[in-house]
Structure 1
Amino acid sequence: MRLYKLRLRARNISSWKELPCPLTFWTPTPSRPICYTPARTFQMNQSPYICDVDAEPLHRYRTGGYHPVHIGDSLNSNRYKILHKLGWGSYSTVWAARDQREHTYVAVKISISGQERSHREFTILRSLAAAQSDQPGSQHLMTMSDHFQLNGPNGIHDCFVLELLGPSVADVLDAHFNNERLPGKLARKIAKQTLLGLSCLHEQGIGHADLHTRNLAFTIPSVQVLREEELYEKLGKPKTAYVQRVDRKPLEPGIPRYLVEPSSYSRINSFPLDRVKIVDFGQSFRSTDVPERFYVPLPLQAPEIVFRDRVDWRVDLWSMGCILFELVVGQPLFDSFMTTPTILVRQMLELASDELPERWQEQWRNMEAASPGEESACSLQGWLDEMYFDGERSEDLSRGDILQVGALIHRMLWFEPRDRASAKEILQDPWLHEG
């Protein structure tokens, strides 16, 4: 009996709120972050503040935490006017803004203060901005146009000015998830464009390390010609709620007067779904500067992260195999509900293309001894067939297509990172160029 026969979309799973190492799950989209913490949790964190809106946790507005932002604020010598919130995560909040000098719309990502990881992110984004624009795949990577520091009541914050993008692929999947999945042609296009961006990154010696459908965002080609009121039609009017102290005393410095709920992009079907870009380089690294830890939610971790082994750019190839499955099937490859490291590795053992490397065997025996469970035998292709041809959703890909998809995933889903096919190699497959 397969342990995870029923799949659920990650953003709807409350248990993810309790992950010990939440990731900065920002994309320049309106998607509500997975690490959303409702007002009741503020009490668990002993915060004296309450606010009735689905937004970032108030206890993170402190020294070393978020910078308080309000609609209409002007940043960097009044250059960037804040219009709306796009998202938030453990390490940043992200805002739609108007560049008053260039008369363009941008996204401004404001990191928590005193965060070393923002320096690594700045180095990566600066490198991408300086790369040749005609380099193959570069058009599928989000770029930075400006960087500045903000000295606020909670410290000094790195701020990245990025292009304003539309809904994430995960948002579009959610919009189609009730009874449908993405059209096969669109799934193929997204996979190809993601691989092009990934190949470009890897050619520059950069690993993304946080590749999933929430970090793939669609472009909005017409956004720069919109008037502000037209932009609000796309984003929705900001929904706010005032922050209050439980004891009714005045707010302390560093606490925003109100919180803003992230934009909804409720009219997703009105967006042209033509081009995606890889976004959020907060976990990205070069081989000469690899982070000691990767703060990735467990169901999205590659095996070398689970086993705390050496990580390089090939971590993205495992992620790409998972993305291809999700694009085609409409739900994640690995369980997003009540997953533990042991359950995740057990699922990996079912679907990976090779055996668990010898260097991880002892760790696995200890994990299994601490949490024994039921073994099952299910091939990757069998699971893909079962999930795609479920008789419940539309099927516009043939069995031959699904065989080819399974073969592509198989080439990337290897425990041993050196055996995974590169993005450049996968891009040579004829299936990605059909249709």
Structure 2
Amino acid sequence: MQTKFKAAIVINAIEPVFFTAKHLFQCSILVQEQTPLAEFAVANFSCQKLIYFKAQAACEEPLTFAEILAKTNLGEQLVAQQIKYLVVPHRSSIFIEQWAKKRGIELMVTPWSTQKRLEDKIYFDNLLKKYRLASPPTVNLAGRDLEKVNHKSYVVQKSGSYGLFGTKFMSASDLSAFRKKHLRQVSSYLVREYLPGVPIGVTIFLDKAGNYFYAGLRRQCFLNKNGFPSIFSGIQWLPANFFGSKTLSSISTQLEHLTKLLQKENFYGVANVDILISQEKALVLECNPRLSSATPHIFAGLSLATNPNPWQFFLDTFWDKQQLTISDRRLPVSDFTGSLLDIDLAATGSLKQILPVGVYSFKNGRVKFVGQRMKIFFNHPDYFLLFHELRQISALKRGATLCTILSNFPVFDLESGELNQAGKEIWSYFREMFLANKNNNKLNL
């Protein structure tokens, strides 16, 4: 049997929710059978593009990508369909690489060894210093730097931590106590001065030949606790004129230097870079070498990247296809101000119902289900997509993501990064509709 599709991507990971026939010319969609996501997939993709997989045992909570590989028959389905390439939606791992090797499947992701190296906070900070990129001042807890500490607040990160996991915010006195308590392990922590500013993300697409381009700027939004970021709540796309020319010049300079750094590190794939804008200056924080929550909007083709087809560039990167030479230092010019909002659980919650994955509208303060077809989604400025992986009425653990909102309009205040009125109302609506536990329906900002 001749292979129809060269690659496959799991819709459970949200990246392909806005895909059209153009995206799926050489790619199929993987979805778990008998789930709300499967209903959404049937409504939006032809049956020839869909491949169903099933869990080996009943699972109450959504599966991670690694769990999908381990606990479903997805591997057998890929082999049966003669699909050679599988898109890894977020982080890879030794397990994922071994799983793929055993089945003769090529992973479309930056190799785990490279991911792990660049994600290491201390390693990456040393790279920034080596190549003279701007970043927040650091404190050496293993040396005598602590005697000079006079800054108000500090960010302490475990070298191998991921996202906000392993990140702590401390006063100078707390930092001194932390050093005494963890004296033997201080060399495994990166300590930086905490600076006020606007946290943003930028995506760099880079192939093996060194071709590259950038996606647009988005504000990273958090729920705060005691004045510091506590929980990642989503992203807010920023219009091209949000920052002044001086700030944009600083961002462009740092991105150009960072791209050269990644090329010297033999990186290829998608790198999501965290940057802090402080006093009109761009300071590089860290690099997340994988697809991210910004990917669905970027792949949708909303002029959020200087390359008109970032998805095809991504595919060709891992298919080793020769591409037209691209060295595009420009930031995209876009007025799109849509958002992505993760609605997480503050406490253990019980579901009272499961709403359909699909298109909803928000108009005059009211949420209304429109349908599951995505065809006209971007033609309506008041539409948003409700995405979730829930499959049965059950209890969910504290910190679990209940659902994700992808909107055509801002749900965060562009200046502060806090939920705006629309965001608060949508947040409260879906908590109320999904959850039986009223303790989870309080918005603590």
One fold, TM greater than 0.5? no
Q: Compare relative contact order (CA 8 Å, sep 6+) and give the higher one, 1 or 2.
A: 1
**Superposition TM-score, scaled by structure 2 size:** 0.28
Q: What is the TM-score when the length of structure 1 is the normalising length?
A: 0.29
